[in-house]
Chains A and B, each alone.
Chain A
Amino acid sequence: MDITLPLLILVIPLFMFLLLGLCGMKMSHRLAGTLGTLGMGTVLVLSYITALTYFYSGAPEFITQAGERLQYTVFNVTWLQFTDSLVIRLGFLLDPISAMMLIVIPTISFMVHLYSLGYMRDHHGVYEHGFQRFYAFLSLFSFSMLGLVVATNIFQMYIFWELVGASSYLLIGFYYKKPSAVSASKKAFIVTRFADLGFLIGILILSFYTGTFNFADLTSAPVDGIANVSQVSLTTAEGIKAMFTNSPAPMFMGASVMTWALVLIFMGGMGKSAMMPLHIWLPDAMEGPTPVSALIHAATMVVAGVYLVARLFPLYLMETAALDIIVVVGALTAFYAAMVACTQIDIKRVLAFSTISQIAFMMVSLGVARPEFHHGLGYMAGMFHLFTHAMFKALLFLCAGALIHAIGSNDYTAMHGLRKYMPITHITFLIGCLAIAGIIPFAGFFSKDEILTACFGHSIVWYIWMSLVAGLTAFYMFRLYYLIFWWKEHKVHDPHHAPHDQPWTMTLPLVILAAISCVAGFVPFGFLVTWNGKPMFEGHASFFTNLEHLDWSVAGISLAVAIIAILIATAMYKKENPLPEKMRNALPRLWDWCYHRFYWDELYQFITHKIIFGCICKPIAWFDRHIIDGAMDGLAYVTNKASVAIKGFQSGKIQMYVWFYLAGALLLGAITVICLI
């Protein structure tokens, strides 16, 4: 494969970032926005070509005769050479999941670029302050995210991992004059950085024992006869495990070192993907502009943790203890976030918690994936859900952005009954809700069904648990939907100031994403993305593959759960009625806990302020201020006093200087004479 296309995919967003970042303020707003959008559009086309070439060209470096998909390293240049063995490379790896991400990221990113052209202006068409900066940061983010997914080695991934963290920080704090946005950006950065500490330690452990950063050396074996091509191989992963078990200290604190390494790496993923207990930054990150929430905090960056686990999946298979931890963390997070989402008032918060819950679904799905069960169905399902979720969650966020833009508030209490005034937003939002609730034939149905099937194959407990969460998902999404678009009717006094659909730059992405959400479920993922590249089913892929291979016993149940949940939501929220109030009064304690997000933030506040700041930092600060600074101050004090005392010698009287100089010289001379003679 030609190197130009993949290189351009990375270079164009970087160039756009530099161009808009350095010269943006010299440009008009319209030019900057158009340039950014055009750049992203080019990237969109190029990555579609690259990904489709990978999936469908059938070239020998992409797929074997037997239909197994291969990993192809397009380029891999040495970036830093520390020693012979410690080399950091930058490269471009094409394999099923990176090719899939090459579809997802530019699609969402382009939609958001287009959408922001309308969103980042007020109703009179005046552009927001820092419009060019916004597009520069969007380009930076796109560059970093693309660099992350095509990484050929775990260190490159880490570099871009931090870059997406930085661009997320910049974009959350885009309204830097708003104190809440500033503290949210700091919170996001600090929490994810803390998680990345674990990631870095994990990387170091892994590379210390294995002596490599390359994914190709960690999880796959080279294919004979074709350069730069490798195939996912459990034998390699077993070799890696053997390196750990044969090392001098294979155990640490009751678990194997490899488990530790993998869990620590997963900790980085927990931070980025907002798993409990490191989820606290994501709801606050909604302080950023809504398109940013759609791009970064719903569709792309937050799934980086899932992507990371998927990337190292053969290693995780070697240590199922780590996978079990992933399942537990994911399942708890999914339930927790779904519970909280049922009570929030701010529509972006609801979507944020929904995102946390859905990412947890993907995590659980990866955690329950085993090669023995349906060729690793969970892996495929997780990736499938990542794909569909990106589409419909971006859609939901962009709808929310359109609503916020029209109403000027984040609370659904200010919305109610908007369906007549914003029909396009209404329909697309409904499609998004149906998709996330898992109603056939929308995208979420298929992917969620695969996840539940995978859970079912792993353990009945997790299956029931996750089905419950899926029901909750349908409930809170439709609660939100009804509270925005139905509930009580708006009384509009002046038809000119009624809320209305937004300009085409904002509605077009909604329509496109809604269309994708309708059909994305039919993408034959079983043939495209599997953990070892082998297709899951016999025969040929077609539009109805997913329907044909549906396990109707599981699908029927999940469909029934979703419909029941939707019906409950309809009964409670379609028209203004006292039912929600009654329910709230019936379970006041539970409602309170959910509304306050189970007091996680307060807990963090308590731990950081009372325990860490109060009990650890204060004594250290006292020590620093009084002992260390005191010693320095003492030195300075003595020096100062001494210099004041002796500065009288510096009288400016040359003859005194000479006298002292000669007297000293004479003294030395006298000593010399006396001693030598």
Chain B
Amino acid sequence: MDITVIYYLVPSLIMFCCGVYGFVTRKNMIAMLISLELMLNSVDINFVVFNRYLFPGQLEGMFFTLFAIAIAAAETALAIAIIINIFRASKNIDVTDVTKMKF
């Protein structure tokens, strides 16, 4: 049995769908952020897999993933800073309560 591209892409896709589900349903902002990490991670996997299978010897996909990880770290840090700030203001990190910024 050959482990082909699709074998890696399907778990990645499922991971992505889990991320979508979690992002839409969870109320806790940190949980939403965790779901976001899942989605990001599944995209990273795709980069790596395509790089490995279709362009072996080149490093583009790998570096994309590398940078994506760095950016994800930055984004998470900032998002958590904002969440903590919101928590300070309202003692709550429920996303349904943060609707003041509409129109």
Contact = CB atoms under 8 A, between A and B. Distances in A.
Interface residues of B, number: 13
A650 B103 contact: yes
Interface string A653-668: 1110011001000000
A658 B32 CA distance: 11
Contacts of B100: 652
B24 A652 contact: no
A598 to B, nearest CB: 67
B44 to A, nearest CB: 19
Contacts of A659: 24
A125 to B, nearest CB: 66
Interface string A639-677: 000000001001111110011001000000000000000
Contact of B101 (A652, A655, A658): A652
A496 to B, nearest CB: 78
B21 to A, nearest CB: 11
Contacts of A655: 23-25, 32, 95
B20 interface: yes
A662 B16 CA distance: 12
B96 interface: yes
Contacts of A662: 20, 24
Contacts of B102: 650-652
B20 A651 contact: no
B99 interface: yes
Nearest to B102: A652
A79 B62 CA distance: 67
A655 B29 CA distance: 11
A320 to B, nearest CB: 76
B71 interface: no
Most buried by B among A654, A659, A662: A654
Contacts of B25: 655
Contacts, number: 25
A489 to B, nearest CB: 85
**Interface size grouping (class) on chain A:** 10 to 19
Contacts of B95: 653-655
Nearest to B96: A653
B103 A658 contact: no
B10 interface: no
Contacts of B32: 655
B98 interface: yes
Contacts of A653: 95-96, 99
Contact of A647 (B23, B96, B103): B103
Most buried by B among A651, A655, A659, A662: A655
B89 to A, nearest CB: 15
Interface in A518-536: none
A650 B25 CA distance: 19
A659 B20 CA distance: 9
Nearest to A656: B24
A672 B32 CA distance: 29
Interface string B1-38: 00000000000000000001001110000001000000
Interface string B67-103: 0000000000000000000000000000110111111
Nearest to A659: B24
A668 to B, nearest CB: 16
19 contacts: A647-B103, A650-B102, A651-B99, A651-B102, A652-B98, A652-B99, A652-B100, A652-B101, A652-B102, A653-B95, A653-B99, A654-B98, A655-B23, A655-B24, A655-B95, A658-B23, A659-B24, A662-B20, A662-B24
Given A653-B96, A655-B23, 18 more contacts: A650-B103, A651-B99, A651-B102, A652-B98, A652-B99, A652-B100, A652-B101, A652-B102, A653-B95, A654-B95, A654-B98, A655-B24, A655-B25, A655-B32, A655-B95, A658-B24, A659-B24, A662-B24
